[in-house]
Amino acid sequence: MRQLKKPTYAQVNDDIVRTLVETGPRYYLALGTALLVSIVLFFLPWYYQLRTGVGLAGMNQPNVWGSYLANFVFWIGLSHSGTLLSAVLHITQSPWRKAIYRSAEAMTLFALIIASLCLFVHLGRSWFLHWALPYPNQMELWPNFRSPLLFDVMAITAYLTGSSVFLYVGAIPDFAAVRDRVCGWRKNLYTLLSLGWRGTDMEWHRLGVAYTFLAVLIIPLAVSVHSVVSWDFAMSIVPGLHHTVFAPYFVVGAIYSGTAGIVTMMFLLRKYFSLESYITTTHFNNLGKLLLLLSLLWAYINMLEIFTGWYSGSSAQIETLNYKLFGYYAPLFWGMVLFCAIIPLALIVKKVRTSLITMLIISVLINIGMYIERLLILTTSLSRKYLPDYWGIYTPTLVEISIFIGSVALFICFFLVFVKIVPSVSMYEVKETLDTPDRRR
Amino acid sequence: MAAELLGLFSHADQALKAAGGLRDTGFQEISLMSPTPLHGVEQVLGRKTSAIKRFTFFGMLTGLLAGFLLAAGTATLYLLPTGGRPIIPIPPYLVISYEVGILFAVLATLFGFLVSARLPALRERHYTPETHIDRFGILVTCSSEQDAERARTIILAAGAEEIRQLEYLGKKSHEQ
Amino acid sequence: MSDSDSIKEKWKKYRNPGYQDKFDYSWGMVIDLDRCTGCEACVTACQAENNLPIVGEEGFRSGREIKWIRIERYWDGEYPDIKLRFIPMLCQHCDNAPCEPVCPVYATYHNQDGLNVQVYNRCIGTRSCAAYCPYDARSFNWFSFTWDKPLDEQLNPDVTVREKGVMEKCTFCIQRIRQAKDTAKDQNRRVRDGEVQPACVQSCPTQALVFGDRNDPDSAVSKLAQNPRGYQVLKELNTNPSIIYLKNL
């Protein structure tokens, strides 16, 4: 499969440092566009909303949660695979992880930041969000730790810290390697970031130990983060949300959409940074297998959720279920089933997994489907609560659509800045997969 | 006068061989510098242990306790009953405890890593940029001229491409 | 040592579900559906008493009306044999309120009178309480509302006006309860039955709504609550509402 000639150690350095320092006009064009789009479609509407009120969104009384919260869950979900996948693959010592994990972890970090921003957008009075943080204050009032929303605050804080530490510790040797190749402000930056790393045997040993421990800590953390997000919904007694299966459902969904996100991102990295010799079809093949497994798991849990709801026989559950399957949002539901459960079955064919363009299409479709899922979880449940007199319908407004597109642009912005600052492929670990220069050979 | 010798190799096995040779001759302060973690260092320079696991463990314990105390303590400072729940309900506070536990464990691991790897480097230390690309370096501290001569022989015999004598930076102020 | 004893006692107290065993007062309501004619006088009275903003035609059409009490209308049976039923629906002041534990900032909690209270100034607008409420009794201020002149002259000075991004709901006219409690305290007695009435109870022409202290066994609510027609809405959810409905037979 790997027909490309393996690069030498020196070539690895050259290739990766090149992605950092050589910046073409296309990059600036992309960054400028993304920045402009994020300002026009994210920050301006948000500012407008801060001035007037959340009423700009399409939410109403039974549907008090809308696409802003769906955005939050979507971005948290996207954040899930990066660091989690990287940690799992590190512990299971899968060598194919090494070329992809850095950018996957960056995806985690930025998706998390966007998710937190989405929380800000969601709030009625965003300027008081700090009240939900535990800090001593003159009101002598602390946040309510009984609230699932506060579990969220704590979990996201821990996850943001954990994944940035994981990303940073893994990148220290690469910062050191880049430090010696650049000049100017970059030199100062990388000198600071590399902390004086020399690559001695002692340092490598400590790095290995610390990195493994971090990986071990990140896995339960990542699982808990999305469980906690699911509890925001499942702790309510709303029919359609109050399911015990919600935590695993969300975790699987998150890993699913996150893995699809990684495939999309790898395709773009490979294409626009000419990293063909590092990101190979092996990676797409392996990720394709993972996606296939996750799609089956996701479909299974979805069926289970519907089945247990139906089997309960409670009138409220049945109504919510009927509404979900055949009501106003039914086209969206069946679209989601098509995108997330049926189309990914094509991944069973190896040709599909190793063809980059089909992988790109499938991964994008999966994420569209997963976004629909997040929206449906909120809308189909909240619009059919217990009292039929108060049923309602929710449709997103232009402001909400623009804020979602803007948040994607903001994510791209972050990512474009990232690839110019942090080596997007781990040099030292890619070198590990190559042959050590030994005299014997 | 103490000095440091830096040998540069283009092959990993040669560097390992030199390190083994130096160790057998009685040199204590030997560092191998490599662009990737070297396999087989343990056989040559002995098995390493580090204190990081203790940092992680105690970080986790502190965090678990701190998380629970944060939740339970702040709830008792200002009694606001909600939803017919007790002021100190166990299950939700265990979730807080869990998250803070992992947060502390991560930070403690980072701290432990920095301490045990002696990073960030506060004093200037020798290294060569080549060891971050494709060369394998060996840095050995010699206490006397004779030692330096012996070390030089061993390193060259192992097939070093280049050897440099460096000013000893480590304890400059104490030596003079 | 007394110190460790007190910690142990405190622990026990704090582990007690509900925390307060006995409320000073336990305000409750009985709604006799047999008497309710669906005239919506209560809705109007509430609007006037509690400075409820007028959301306008468009706000109403998109389901954003701010109502602390509403009359739910249900048709029972098939055409010619049909019956119309009304249920006034307001905050049930549940003892085990689902809305309370979910608020991350304690903007809603249970006070010593057994009321589920909402602290407007503390609210950050997560709207989770409204999502969690099975009775849909909560209303959200999607915008900041203003009162055109001369409507602003009729604002009740005892009730705050809420800003955008804040959740609000029925308070059982807590301003009236406070006033009655203050008067009673000045005269060294408990609040008498019938001394305090929320606006909806006061305005009900058929006296379908009765308000009072459930801790007092002789109060009108306590007696009416014994009625075999009595039931709680969505009792199976274990929220234990403070409002008892009397079935319309």
Is C160 an 8 Å CB contact of chain B? no
**Percent of residues, chain B, with pLDDT higher than 90:** 28
Which of A135-139, A280-284, A292-296, B167-171 reaches the highest mean pLDDT?
A292-296
| Size (chain C), residues | 249
Query: Across the interface, do B12 and A432 touch by the CB < 8 Å criterion?
Result: no
CB-CB neighbors (< 8 A) of C110 in chain B:
80-84
Using the Cβ of B172 and the Cβ atoms of chain A, whether some distance falls under 8 Å is answered with no
| Range B94-104 average pLDDT | 95
Of A9, A144, A429, the CB nearest to B134: A9
Q: Is B39 in CB contact (< 8 Å) with chain A? A: yes
Taking one residue from A and the other from B, the number of pairs with CB-CB distance under 8 angstroms is: 192
Which residue in A154, A176, A432 is closest to B100 by CB distance? A154
pLDDT at A289: 92
Task: For residue C47, give the amino acid letter.
Answer: Q
Residues of C with CB below 8 A from A388's CB? Answer: 74
Residue bearing the bigger pLDDT, A242 or C3: A242
Q: Do the chains contact at C106 and B88, CB–CB below 8 Å?
A: no
What's the pLDDT band for B169 if we cut at 50, 70, 90?
Answer: low
What is residue A436's predicted lDDT score, i.e. its pLDDT?
67
Question: How many residues does this entry show for chain B?
Answer: 176
Neighbours, chain C (3 or more CB pairs < 8 A) = A, B
DSSP letters spanning A333-374? HHHHHIIIIIGGGGGGSHHHHH-HHHHHHHHHHHHHHHHHHH
The residue type at A257: S
Query: Using 50, 70 and 90 to split pLDDT, how confident is the model at A396?
Result: very high
Q: How high is the pLDDT of residue A180?
A: 84
Can you tell me the distance from the alpha carbon of A369 to that of A294, in angstroms, rounded to the nearest whole number?
Answer: 14
Whether C98 sits inside 8 A of A153 (CB atoms) is no
Q: Which residue of B has its CA nearest to A164?
A: B106
- C-beta atoms of A144 and C74 within 8 A: no
Q: Is the pLDDT of residue A2 over 50?
A: no
Among the ranges given (B16-25, C19-28, C36-45), the one the predictor scored with the smallest mean pLDDT = C19-28
Contact C68, C169 (CB under 8 A): yes
Q: How many angstroms separate the CA of residue B6 from the nearest CA in chain A?
A: 12
A424 — pLDDT class (breaks 50, 70, 90): confident
Parse chain A into domains and list their residue ranges: 9-133+143-433
Write the pLDDT tens digit of every residue in C109-145. 998 888 999 999 999 999 999 999 999 999 999 999 9
- Is the ipTM higher than 0.95? The answer is no
Element (H, E) at C75: strand C69-76
For A84-135, give the DSSP string.
HHHHHHHHTT-GGGTTTHHHHHHHHHHHHHHHHHHHHHHSTTGGGGGGGS--
Of all residues in chain A, the one with the smallest CA distance to C238 is: A237
The verdict on A50 touching C (C-beta cutoff 8 Å) is no
The pLDDT of residue B22 is 86
Give the pLDDT of residue A4. 52
Asked if C132 reaches chain B (Cβ–Cβ under 8 Å), the answer is: no
CB pair distance less than 8 Å for C20 and B86: no
| B58 in contact with chain A, both atoms CB, cutoff 8 A | no
Distant-in-sequence, close-in-space partners of B66: CB < 8 Å, separation ≥ 6? B100, B104
**Strand C209-213 relative to strand C167-168: parallel, antiparallel, unpaired?**
unpaired
**Is the CB of A217 inside 8 Å of chain B's CB atoms?**
yes
Residues of chain A with pLDDT > 90, as a percent, come to 56
Closest CA to C146 of C244, C51, C47: C51
Residues B153-175 have a mean pLDDT of: 69
Q: Is the pLDDT of residue A325 over 60?
A: yes
Residues of C in contact with B69 (CB under 8 A): none
User: pLDDT averaged over chain A?
Assistant: 89
Q: How far is B76 from chain C (nearest CA, A)?
A: 8
A134 touches chain B (CB under 8 A): yes
Flag whether residue A365 sits within 8 Å of chain C, measured between CB atoms: no
pLDDT tier, A24 (very low <50, low <70, confident <90, very high otherwise): confident
Candidates C15, C19, C105: best to mutate against B (most CBs of B within 10 A) is C19
Task: Give the residue from chain A lying closest to C140, CA to CA.
Answer: A61
Contact of C108 with chain B, judged by CB distance below 8 Å, is answered with yes
Domains assigned to chain C: 12-246 (3.30.70.20)
Residue B174: per-residue pLDDT: 40
Q: Do A161 and B107 touch (CB under 8 A)?
A: yes
A149 Cα to chain C: minimum distance (Å): 6
Per-residue b/e over C82-106, b at no fewer than 16 CB within 10 Å?
eeeebbbbbbbbbbbbbbbbbbbbb
**Interface probe, candidates B52, B53, B88, chain A, greatest A C-beta count within 10 A:** B52
- Is the sign of the CA dihedral A161, A164, A168, A171 positive or negative? positive
Q: What pLDDT score does A85 carry?
A: 84
Using a CB-CB cut-off of 8 Å, the residues of chain A touching B37 are 204-205, 207-208, 428, 432
The chains in contact with chain A, meaning 3 or more Cβ pairs closer than 8 Å, are B, C
Cβ-Cβ contacts under 8 Å, C62 against chain A: 58, 60
CA distance C87 to chain A (A): 10
| Interface A-C: count of C-beta contacts within 8 A | 139
Pairing of strands C27-32, C243-246: parallel
pLDDT average, residue stretch B164-174: 58
Which pLDDT band, with edges at 50, 70 and 90, does A5 fall under?
low
CB B9 within 8 A of CB B156: no
Residue A120: closest CA among chain C residues belongs to which residue?
C126
Q: What is the pLDDT of residue B176?
A: 33
pLDDT for residue B48: 78
Touching B (3+ Cβ pairs <8 A), the chains are A, C
Res B175: pLDDT: 38
What is the C-alpha R_g of chain C? 19
pLDDT of C34 higher than 50? yes
pLDDT value at position A346? 93
Q: What are the residue ranges of helices labelled H in chain C?
A: 2-14, 41-49, 56-61, 99-102, 128-132, 174-186, 199-203, 220-225
Tell me the per-residue pLDDT of B68-97, one tens digit each, with 9 for 90 and over: 999 999 998 888 888 888 999 999 999 999
Cis peptide upstream of residue C241 (ω within 30 degrees of 0)? no
Mutate to test the interface with A, among B6, B90, B102 (most CBs of A within 10 A): B102
Q: Which residues of A touch C139 (CB under 8 A)?
A: 61
- How does pLDDT run across C53-106, given as a tens digit for each residue? 989 899 998 889 999 999 999 998 888 889 889 999 999 999 899 999 999 999
Looking at residue C20, what is its pLDDT? 66
Which residues from chain B sit within 8 angstroms of residue C97, using beta carbons? 82-84
Predicted pLDDT at A437: 64
A57, two tokens: 């969104």
Beta carbons within 10 angstroms of residue C217's beta carbon: 9
Q: What is the pLDDT of residue A92?
A: 84
- pLDDT score of B171: 47
Q: Tell me what pLDDT residue A440 has.
A: 47
Q: What pLDDT, on a 0 to 100 scale, did the predictor assign at position A281?
A: 86
B61 interfaces chain A, CB cutoff of 8 Å: no
pLDDT in tens, B19-67: 888 888 888 788 888 888 887 777 777 777 888 999 999 999 999 999 9
Give yes or no for A154 touching C (CB within 8 A): no
**B84 vs C11: CB contact, 8 Å cut-off?**
no
CA–CA–CA angle A409, A415, A419 (5° rounding): 150
A123 touches chain C (CB under 8 A): yes
Phi, psi of C88 (to 5 degrees): -65, 125
Q: Say whether residue A285 is in contact with chain B using an 8 A CB cutoff.
A: no
Chain-chain contact of B74 with A158 (C-beta, under 8 angstroms) = no
- Could A61 and C130 be called an inter-chain contact, meaning their C-beta atoms sit closer than 8 Å? yes
Q: Are A81 and A366 in contact (CB under 8 A)?
A: no
Cα–chain center distance at B19:
19
Among the residue ranges A42-46, B24-28, B99-103, C184-188, the one predicted with the least confidence is B24-28
A 243-272 near C (Cβ less than 8 A): none
Per CATH, domain A9-133+143-433 is 2.60.40.1180: no
Helices (H), C22-127: 41-49, 56-61, 99-102
Of B94-103, B113-122, C67-76, least confident by mean pLDDT is B113-122
A441: pLDDT strictly greater than 60: no
A47-66 pLDDT, tens digit each: 999 999 999 999 998 899 99
A141 lies within 8 A of chain B by CB: yes
Cis omega (within 30 of 0) on the bond before C150?
Answer: yes
What residues of C are in contact with residue B76 (Cβ under 8 Å)? 10, 14
pLDDT above 70: residue B1? no
Where are chain B's structural domains? 3-49+124-171, 53-116
Select from 3.30.160, 1.20.120, 3.30.70, 1.10.287 the CATH code of B3-49+124-171. Answer: 3.30.70
Contact across the interface for C11 and B82, Cβ inside 8 Å: no
Beta strands in A160-303 (DSSP E): none
Question: What are the tens digits of pLDDT across the range A105-121?
Answer: 888 999 999 999 999 99
The answer to whether residue A84 scores a pLDDT higher than 80 is yes
